[in-house]
Amino acid sequence: MDPTALASLLKDYGPWGLLALALLTIRFLFNGWRDCMTARIEERGASATALERQAASNTAVAGSLEDVREGQIEIAKLTAEALKRAEGSDVLTVSHIGDIKNRLDALHNRGGS
């Protein structure tokens, strides 16, 4: 609205008409602002939910990686032990390799449960 339209409203309806028009305008703007804030709050809630799910997933992956690291450490220990004890003996080497296989199977079964 331009100033001449406002002046004609003031002339036709008086100050109360102009006040009513101003209040309706303020109410319209406030409702639009409230709807916008509600949408932003809902969007933030959805983002927070997604972040919580991601954090839970990261925790599960970290636990799985820790199990893998433990298995790798166990394999390294068994291999070093087998190399120290075997020292050229085929029977001992086969025995230790069998132990390694059994422990790997046990770790695999524990991880699959």
CA distance 9 to 18: 7
Q: What is the mean pLDDT of residues 69-96?
A: 76
Domain count, the chain: 1
Per residue in 2-54, pLDDT tens? Answer: 778 777 777 787 778 778 888 888 999 999 999 999 999 888 888 888 888 88
**Domain range for residue 94?**
3-112
Which residue in this structure is represented by tokens 């059994």?
Answer: 102
pLDDT (0 to 100) of residue 32: 92
- Other Cβ atoms within 10 Å of 79 Cβ, number: 13
Structure tokens given for 10: 């003031």
- Decide if pLDDT at 86 tops 70: no
Q: What is the pTM of this model?
A: 0.41
